[in-house]
Structure formats: C-alpha cells, structure tokens
Structure 1
Amino acid sequence: MGTSETFLIAMTIIFGLPYLIWRLGRTDYVAPLVVVQILTGIVLGPGVLGAAFPRYYATVFNPAVIQTLNGVAWWAVMLFVCIAGLELDLKQSWRHRRETVLTAACALGFPLLLGALAALGLLASGAGWLGTAGRGWQFVLGVGMACAVTALPILMLLMEKLGILRAPLGQRVLRYASLDDLAIWAVLALILLDWARVGRQLAFIAGFIVLAWPFRALMRRLRESDRWYVLPIWLAACGFTADYAGLHFMVGAFLAGAVLDRDWFDLARLDLLRHHVLLVLMPVFFLSTGLRTSWAVGGWAVFIAAAWLLAAAVIGKLAGVALAGRVLGWRRGEAWTIGWLLQTKALIMIIFTNILLDRGVISAAAFTALLLMAVASTMLTVPMVRPRLAAGQVAAP
C-alpha cells in the first residue's frame, strides 16, 4: 500500500478505537473521551502495540505516516494552545487580585516544590531520567512545573460536564487557573533559554511586544468575521518566529492568543472552535504523543516514578489550596473541591512535557512517567468532585 492508504488506515484507528472504548465502555464518569484518546495513544505506541505486534506496527506507523501525522498534530496543538491563551481573562483576575493571586500562587508553588523534590529523587536514582541535552536544574524545574500544571482547556471541559462552568465556583476556579497558565509558559521560556541564541530570543520578545500593539489596533478595527481569518495567519507567524528564535513554536502560539481579547470573538463560536479542534484534530496529537512513550528504564520503574510524581502533584495542590482557603476564610470543604478541580492536567501538561522531550531536557522514560501521572491526575478529578457537588458541598460565590 502507498503512504496515503496507510495514513488513512492509521486515521481510522486513531478516531475509531477511542470512540468505541468510550461509548461502549461508558467511561465518561472516570475518563472523558479526551482521556480515553490519550490512553489509546499510549497503547498504540511502541511500548505496547509495537512490542506485541512489531510487524503490524512498523507497517501502519511507518516513518512516512508518522511524519504526516506529526504535521497534523503540530497545527492541531498550536490552534489549541492559541485558544487557551485567548481564553485567559486577566481583567477578572485583576478585579479579584488578592484572592486570585494568593490562591494561584499557593496552588502552583506547593506542587512545584514537591515536584522538584521528586525530580531530585529521580536524578539521584541515576536510572536515565535526564534527557541527553538537559541540565539538572532544567530537569528539576521542568518536572516540578509539570506537577503543578492546571490544564485550563480541559478544566473548562470538565466543569462544563459538571454544570459549574458559568457558576460562581467555576468562574473563581478559572481565574486561579488563568494565572497559573501564564506562569507555565513563563517557566517554559526560562527552561528553553539558550545562551548561544539569547540575543535572538530577546529580539523575538522585544519584537513581539512592539508588533502586538499595532496588531491589536488592527484587530479592533476589523469586523469579527475577518478576525477569524486573520487569527491563523497571526498564529503561524508567531509560531515561526518563536521557533526560529530558539524558544518553541508553542510559546509563540500561546502568546499569539494571549495578547488578544476574548471579547473580540463571539463566545459561542470560540467554544465551537475549541470543540471542533478537540474533535477532529487533537486525537492525532494524542496518537503522536503515544508514539513517543518509552519503557526503556523498565516498566515497573516508570510506573513507580509516575506514582511518585502523582503523589507530589496531588498532595502539593491540595495543601497549597488549603493554605489559601485558611488565609482567605473559605467555608469548610471549599478548598478540597477547588483543589481537586485545579488538579486537572492532561493536555497542557502533555504539551509542556512534549516540548521538554523535544529539547532533550527529559528522557523518553521520564516523559512516559509524566504522561501517566497527567492521565491519572485528570481521571481523579470528576470522581472526587462530583459527589461533593451532588451533596451541595459547593463553594460560596
């Protein structure tokens, strides 16, 4: 068969298998479709399918097909990250700045600290967790931030399913997650800072700040229908210049959306775009992520590392939010509910760790452990939160 036929077989598997598992298994309570797609990507990767059926794997997921899938995945995740940046509502965060800043700082700082300590433990084990081009501080900071991440787009999806997205509780949680989202990309830029190309990177940041003002003025003058056409042009240009500067095209994608106002776009159409990207494009990214998993340091070692990192992420997040709730005088039980909602990781953390893997900061085995941790963390959110919401134990407005 030619590349086109093999590519379409791969696409049929990518979209068909997760849907069947999700629908027939009725997994939505524990694992929404997006989580099933991520898990299926891992199963279809070299560590499971490739090991069990190497000839089949080599036929369907040959280098030409993988290269084609990667191109689709790159654009899909750029669109998704741009939408995440666009959905940041810093105006609301500023109106409630004391509560928002304190909660966001505690919710990020505690799991970051515990995650960094867990990363030091992995480095001390000497089992091949550090990437070929990574330094110790990059690994520790990157893994720590991966433990602290809250995935804003998936958080919105889960809160929509729980019926609290537009409620006061949902809006509060979104404010906290928005500030943490900014911190994630700032830390990523620091990790990727290349002293050999620091001049080019600083030039990109300066140039972006200068060009963002006239571009914002242009977008204000355009009709909304034209803004939708201009947005992908701006996205591609920002992604290219950030990647050329040595940061990463994902940094450019996030900045492309973050400097725009969500009010310039119809909210219903923006939600629909996010839904369609998740539906028809992101499954390809999940598969390409699964193709990168590795159990090179030993299957049990990877699972033990994932459990170690999950404990750091969960304990750190709940402890941080509990401290913020005590200082701010929240009602009993509020911190527990909010802490578990902010525990949602999945997409943004997977994107974050993909970049670390691309740049050689972490090894494929460390990437696999972090991926398993992200999936487990996200799967815990709904079962831990829904019973409390059903019992009426919700945060006050």
Structure 2
Amino acid sequence: MTPTEVFLIAVFLIFSVPYLVWRLARTEYYAPLVVVQILCGILLGPGILGAAFPGYYAFVFNPQTVAALNGIAWWGVMLFVWIAGIELDLRQAWARRGETSITAGLALGAPLLLGSLAALVMLRFPGWAGPRGSTVQVVLGIGMACAVTALPILVLLMAKLDILRQPFGQRILRYASLDDIAIWAVLALILLDWQRVGRQAAFLAIFGIASWALRRLMIRISPMDRWYVGLIWLAGCGFLADWSGLHFMVGAFLAGAVLDAGWFDREQLDAFRDHVLLAVMPVFFLSTGLRTQWDMGGVAVFAVAALLLAASTAGKLAGVHLAGRLLGWARGEATVIGWLLQTKALIMIIFANVLLDRQIITRETFTALLLMAVGSTMLTMPIVKPRLRALGDLVGRVQ
C-alpha cells in the first residue's frame, strides 16, 4: 500500500472506533466522547493492541504515518489551547477578586500539596522520574498535574448540565480561569532552563511588545480578519516559545490569553472549538495513546494512577470545602463545585505531554497520569448530576 493509503487507514480507525463505542455503548452519562477517544487511543496504541498484534501496529502506525499524525496533533492541540486562552474572562475574576482568589487558591493549592506528596512516594522507587527531570521538577510537575482543572472540558460538561450561562456556572468558570493561568505559569517555571534564560527573556520581551501592537491592530480590523491574524499570531507565538525552551503549548496559551473574547462572535468561537474537537483533536488523543507504556507492569502503573487520583480528588474537594466554609457557602455547593473543578482530561494530558516531551517524567508516569485524568473525568457527571438537582434555585443565584 502507498503511504497515503496507510495514513487514511489510521485516520479511519481514529474516527470510527471511538465513535462506534461511544454511540453503541451509550457511554455519554459517565464517559463523554472525548474520554472514549482517549481510552481508544490507549487501546490502539503499543501497550495493548500493539503488544497483542505487533504486525498490525507496525503496519498501520509506522514512523511515516506517526510523523504525519503528530503534525496534525500538534496544530490541533495548539488551536485548542489558544481557544482556552481566549475564553478566559479575567474581568469577572478581577471584579470578584476576593472570593475568586480564595477559592481558586485553595482549589489549586490543596491538590498540589497532596499530589506533590504522592510524587515523593513515587520517587522512592525507580522508573518514574525522567532522565532530564530534577527532583523539584518531577515533584512539582506531578503535583501540578493533580491540581489541574480542564477548563475546556469543564465548559462542555457544564453546557450538558445546563448551568454554563447560569450565575453558578460563571462562578465556577472564574475559579477555573484563575487556576488555568497558574497552571501555565508553573509549567513555564518548571521548564525554566538557565542555559536558555537569555532566549526566554527575549521571548517575553518580544511577546510583550508584540501583544501591545496586536491588541491595537485587532480593534481596527474586521471580525473575519481577526481570525486570520489570530492564527498567524498563534503560529508565531508557538514557534518563539518553543525556540526559547518554554514549549509551544505555553506560547499557544499566551497567544490566546492576550486576546479579548469580545473581539470574536461567541457562537463562532463555540462552533470553532467544537469543530476542532470533532475534526482534529481525535488525532491528538490517538497520538497520546501511542505514548502509553506498560514496561514496568500494568499493576504498578494502575496502582500509581489510583494514588494520584486519590490525591487529586481528595485535595480538590478539601480545598474547595475549606473555601466554602470561609466564605459561608450554602450546604452542598462546595461538593458540586469541587467535583466539577477536579475534571482533568485534556489540559492535564497536554500538561503531561509537555513534561514527557522534556523528559521530566517517564512514559510509565505519563500513562499513570493519563489513567488518572480519564478516571477523574468519568467520575464527574455521575456524582455531580444528582447533587446539582438538590441545589435547586441556588444555581441561578448571583454570588
């Protein structure tokens, strides 16, 4: 077969297998399509079907096909992170900065602490730290992975729960938005390379000046031109961030964060995010599955995934409950908010991909983090939905 034909076989598997599982098994309640796509990526990867049928894996996912898929995945995930940056509403966070800062700080700090302690336990055994990762980088990276809230997936889940545009949903978005900024700031700190500090300082200086010029330009051009200019800006920021050693994902987030969501039509922005999820992100999930590794043994990887899931959920719930007590929330609010904010999926997987790319963690650690993210997201809807109904009119109350 020609390389094009093999590539299209891979694309056929990427889109057909998860969709059929999701639709025929009717998993929407506990496993949204994005979760099924991640699980199918693991299934189709080298750890499961690739190990059982090495001939299939070597034929379909040969180096040439994987290289082509990786290119699509890189651009797709950059688009997704760029949109997440655009959707940050810092004005609302600033308007209610007291309550937002307390909640976001505790919601991030508690799981970060427990996740870091879990990482210290992991480092007592060999095979979890990458060859280029210092103890501080590994501990902080794993701790932050436990603290991450997947803002784009949170938006999708709240839309399904019909609370996204409600005051209650907007409160949760404020908390998640502030934590999202902290996540990328910590990632930049983890990736700080003193050998490249000059490049990184140059990138930040160029980015600051260019952002000021871009914002002045964006208010003067047509809405359609804003999309083209925004994508050019995204590619440029991704390149410069990667060149400086900060990784192109940091550049993608910053490229979106300096843009105002009001410059784009809300319906178009939502549709664009949905189309990226539909047409491009499944390729990223498959490429993520190709990175899973079970060489250390499935039992060890699953045990670490369970440890990280416990640290992540317990920390997030403890932090949010403490915030609720300090701020005088109504009974039941903290539980719902905590479970929604512990949603992981995409952003944590992107975060873990960066750590793996920089060899701060191993493939086994990445696989454990991936399983933790999937488990975290699958728990959200079954736990939140019945508790949300019990809150009643509190959902529509402004706070």
Please give the range of the TM-score, normalised by the shorter of the 2 chains: over 0.9
Distance 1:53 1:390 in 2: 47
Distance 2:2 2:363 in 1: 30
1:150-189 map, 5 Å:
150-189=149-188
1:218-229 map, 5 Å:
218-229=217-228
Tell me the equivalent position of 1:62. Answer: 62
Distance 2:187 2:74 in 1: 18
State the 1:26 CA deviation.
0.4
Q: Give secondary structure in 1 for the equivalent of 2:45.
A: coil
State the 1:296 CA deviation.
1.5
Letter in 2 for 1:186: A
Tell me the equivalent position of 1:50. Answer: 50
Percent identical residues: 69
Letter in 2 for 1:232: L
Is the CA contact (8 Å cut-off) linking 2:332 and 2:391 kept in structure 1? no
Letter in 1 for 2:112: L
Tell me the equivalent position of 1:384. Answer: 383
Tell me the equivalent position of 1:196. Answer: 195
Tell me the equivalent position of 2:117. Answer: 117
Distance 1:60 1:254 in 2: 33
The answer for unaligned runs of 5 or more in structure 2 is none
Distance 2:389 2:330 in 1: 17
| TM-score (normalised: structure 2) | 0.98
Matching of residue 315 in structure 1 with residue 329 in structure 2: no
State the 1:297 CA deviation.
1.2
Distance 2:272 2:337 in 1: 27
**1:293-327, CA deviations, whole angstroms, 9 ceiling, x for partnerless residues?**
00121110000000000000000000000000000
Distance 2:390 2:98 in 1: 29
Tell me the equivalent position of 2:344. Answer: 345
Letter in 1 for 2:124: A
Letter in 2 for 1:282: M
Tell me the equivalent position of 1:7. Answer: 7
Q: Give secondary structure in 2 for the equivalent of 1:125.
A: coil
Letter in 2 for 1:254: F
Letter in 1 for 2:117: L
**1:41-99, CA deviations, whole angstroms, 9 ceiling, x for partnerless residues?**
01111000111100011100000000000000000000000000000000000111111
Tell me the equivalent position of 1:39. Answer: 39
State the 1:391 CA deviation.
3.2
**1:152-202, CA deviations, whole angstroms, 9 ceiling, x for partnerless residues?**
000000000011000111100000000000000000000111111111111
Tell me the equivalent position of 1:366. Answer: 365
Q: Give secondary structure in 2 for the equivalent of 1:133.
A: coil
Is the CA contact (8 Å cut-off) linking 2:89 and 2:174 kept in structure 1? yes
Distance 1:184 1:295 in 2: 28
Tell me the equivalent position of 1:236. Answer: 235
State the 1:5 CA deviation.
0.2
Letter in 2 for 1:3: P
Distance 1:392 1:123 in 2: 42
State the 1:125 CA deviation.
2.1
Letter in 1 for 2:61: F
Tell me the equivalent position of 1:249. Answer: 248
Letter in 1 for 2:263: W
Letter in 2 for 1:307: A
Distance 1:165 1:355 in 2: 29
**1:254-283, CA deviations, whole angstroms, 9 ceiling, x for partnerless residues?**
000000100000000000000000000000
Tell me the equivalent position of 2:16. Answer: 16
Q: Give secondary structure in 2 for the equivalent of 1:124.
A: coil
Distance 1:118 1:202 in 2: 33
Is the CA contact (8 Å cut-off) linking 2:333 and 2:391 kept in structure 1? no
State the 1:372 CA deviation.
0.1
Is the CA contact (8 Å cut-off) linking 2:76 and 2:276 kept in structure 1? yes
Letter in 1 for 2:310: A
Distance 1:97 1:190 in 2: 24
State the 1:21 CA deviation.
0.3
Is the CA contact (8 Å cut-off) linking 2:129 and 2:138 kept in structure 1? yes
Distance 1:143 1:291 in 2: 20
Q: Give secondary structure in 1 for the equivalent of 2:124.
A: helix
Distance 1:232 1:187 in 2: 25
Letter in 1 for 2:57: Y
Distance 2:205 2:47 in 1: 43
Distance 2:338 2:87 in 1: 21
Distance 2:228 2:362 in 1: 39
Distance 2:117 2:357 in 1: 23
Distance 1:289 1:316 in 2: 26
Distance 1:63 1:211 in 2: 37
The aligned length equals: 396
Tell me the equivalent position of 1:130. Answer: 129
Distance 1:98 1:193 in 2: 30
| TM-score (normalised: structure 1) | 0.99
